[in-house]
Chains A and B, each alone.
Chain A
Amino acid sequence: MASSGAVPFWRAAGMTYITYSNICANLVRNCLKEPYKAEALSREKVHFSFSKWVEGKPEKPSILLFTSHFSSSVSFNFIDRRFRFNFR
């Protein structure tokens, strides 16, 4: 079930501990009873606004809303890629 040998299975698949522990935490949050579930998920909401700096002035910011309400880990990967794209 859990890790066998020196490297846990999620590490062998290229995941970091942060990714692993966040996935675990999200799965637990999604299994909560209702008043607690909404509270836990809203606590994890993150807002970002990105704006490019052009000729000494910031352009109109694009507001992105990320929630960590990942129904599946596919959307998690999607967000991960978006982050990398925006920071590059």
Chain B
Amino acid sequence: MLRRATSALLSGVSRRRFSTDVPATPSVDSSFVEAWKKVSPNLDPPKTPLSFMKERPQTPSTLPTKLTVNFVLPYASQLSAKEVDMVIVPATTGQMGVLPGHVATIAELKPGVLSVHEGNDVTKYFVSSGFAFIHANSVADIVAVEAVPLDRIDANLVQKGLQDFTQKLNSASTDLEKAEAQIGVDVHSALNSALTG
């Protein structure tokens, strides 16, 4: 697994920052502030979204023992700045274990199991699709359209869906229908292996 070694090699080179990395001091446009003061001396200049954002912690020089995870859905925040030992994300390239000090990566997720390891506790979610952003400072942001704890999935419906979509895949005529049926088969077999495996 790629760990600190590569980032130590890269530290001499000027490294590109993530757009989500907020600078330590929010850049204030001084000419704008001066112009604002002239027009309205009694009002503070308006704040920009950037000034409301919390600064991201700097990349520590020593390897942290915990990984900070933010796991968000469109309608809920499942994990917010939670410190865990490891997460395993279902990347399109395969299951990807993320430990503290992982190199910065962006991974597309496929339908599959996201497991969050904290000591002996393992929390498993099924994610439909999404992205995982892993930052150099041992922070991982995981976004998904739909994610549910595994115990909320109905095994009978999964079996039924798998049969339906396998049938649809055989009878599909156009490319689009085939792709839709293929997605159905992929999602249901991922659900099935999540429940059985």
A residues near B (Cβ < 8 Å) are 1-3, 8-10, 12-15, 20-34, 36-37, 40, 43, 72-73, 77
Contact = CB atoms under 8 A, between A and B. Distances in A.
A45 B75 CA distance: 13
A63 to B, nearest CB: 24
A68 to B, nearest CB: 11
Do most interface residues of chain A lie in helix, strand or loop, or is the interface mixed?
Answer: helix
Interface in B157-171: 157-158, 161, 168
A1 B116 CA distance: 25
Instruction: Give chain B's interface residue range (CB within 8 Å of chain A).
Output: 20 to 34
Given A12-B175, A27-B128, A31-B161, 13 more contacts: A3-B92, A8-B92, A10-B182, A13-B178, A24-B128, A27-B188, A28-B111, A28-B126, A30-B161, A33-B154, A37-B154, A72-B168, A73-B183
A72 to B, nearest CB: 8
A1 to B, nearest CB: 6
B186 interface: yes
Given A3-B92, A24-B129, A27-B184, A36 B178 contact: no
Contact of B145 (A22, A30, A72): A22
B146 interface: yes
30 contacts: A1-B186, A1-B189, A3-B92, A9-B179, A10-B179, A10-B182, A12-B175, A12-B179, A13-B178, A15-B176, A15-B179, A20-B183, A22-B145, A24-B111, A24-B129, A26-B146, A27-B188, A28-B126, A28-B146, A31-B158, A33-B153, A34-B154, A36-B148, A36-B152, A37-B154, A40-B148, A73-B177, A73-B180, A73-B184, A77-B176
